[in-house]
Amino acid sequence: MKYRYAFVLLLGIGACSNPAKEAPAGTYYDLESYLEQQISQLKARNPTVVKQAGFGKDQEQQTTKGIDWSRELDLFLQADINKQAYQSSYQKNRPDSLTYEYRLKAGENLPVQVLRVELDSVTHQPRLVKATLRTKNSLYESERNLWLESEQGVIKRYHIDGFQRLAWLDEKRFLIEGELKE
């Protein structure tokens, strides 16, 4: 019986220390909410996209309406730093009232190195989101540089480039770009 109470207590403690839990409101810019709203609108509008994708030297361009927006913008969602575990991991900088910039503090080991959000002066929605994500361990290294541009609160262009490298293989570069046409 006393083991049951200990187990329940451990479950309660574990639930209180969930590192993926959201940070308190206002800690960092709420990128996730903005992107989720954009994904919902893009699914409803189903815009035509001129998309370029490449891995290594192979590049391909296509015009399509068949985009899974949750998947397409997933790396941007990964750039959201509003998690309780990240609360004190970033230096905040506000160069002006419309710009949020966060840089990973020295000694921290998180994938999002830099996140910059510039708001439109009229709509106060992001007009530019830029981020650098980096992962490195003894077997694998990758870097992803992303940006997206919005006009009047609607995503118009996005770009992802970077590289992946396994310890014993050469670096492989990749690129994804999209421009939305109405």
117-169 confidence digits (pLDDT tens): 999 999 999 999 999 999 998 899 999 999 999 998 899 999 999 999 998 88
With a CB cutoff of 8 Å and minimum separation 6, the contacts of 81 are 23, 28, 31, 89, 90, 102, 110, 112, 115
Q: Residue 57: which pLDDT band, with cuts at 50, 70 and 90?
A: confident
Contact 103, 97 (CB under 8 A): no
Whether the per-residue pLDDT at 179 is higher than 60: the answer is yes
